[in-house]
């Protein structure tokens, strides 16, 4: 008979949608492993081809929004590292 086991992992997922005039431009997703907060995955992608055009004319403000969201994720990561695993 086969042995069936579970391997559970906990993580925190933060998502952000950056918009210009209420039009989605870029999505960000940051996943923090709550068992090892130093293991973090960052990903981002454009909402559409139209979004890429809008991005070009607003890239400074969009980059600021991206950086602000990443800063929030780093705060969460640091707090997890300080308190240990989320229970």
| pLDDT at res. 35 | 86
53: tokens are: 């055009």
Does residue 51 contact residue 26 with C-beta atoms inside 8 Å?
yes
- 65 torsion bin: left (phi>0), alpha (psi -120 to 50), beta (else): alpha
Distances, alpha carbon 52 to alpha carbons 39, 58, 60, in Å: 30, 10, 13
Sequential pLDDT tens for the chain (87 residues): 999 999 988 899 999 999 999 999 999 999 999 888 989 999 999 999 999 999 999 999 999 999 999 999 999 999 988 876 444
65: tokens are: 């929004």
| pLDDT at res. 86 | 47
Provide the residue ranges of all domains of the chain, joining segments of one domain with +.
Answer: 11-83
Does residue 87 contact residue 25 with C-beta atoms inside 8 Å?
no
Whole-prediction pTM: 0.83
């Amino acid at each position: 008979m086969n042995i069936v086991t579970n391997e559970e992992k906990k993580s925190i997922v933060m998502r952000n949608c950056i918009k210009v005039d209420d039009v989605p431009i870029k999505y960000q997703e940051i996943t923090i492993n709550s068992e090892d907060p130093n293991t973090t995955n960052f990903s981002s992608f454009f909402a559409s081809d139209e979004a890429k055009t809008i991005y070009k004319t607003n890239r400074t403000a969009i980059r600021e929004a991206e950086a602000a969201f990443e800063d929030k994720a780093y705060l969460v990561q640091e707090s997890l590292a300080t308190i240990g695993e989320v229970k």
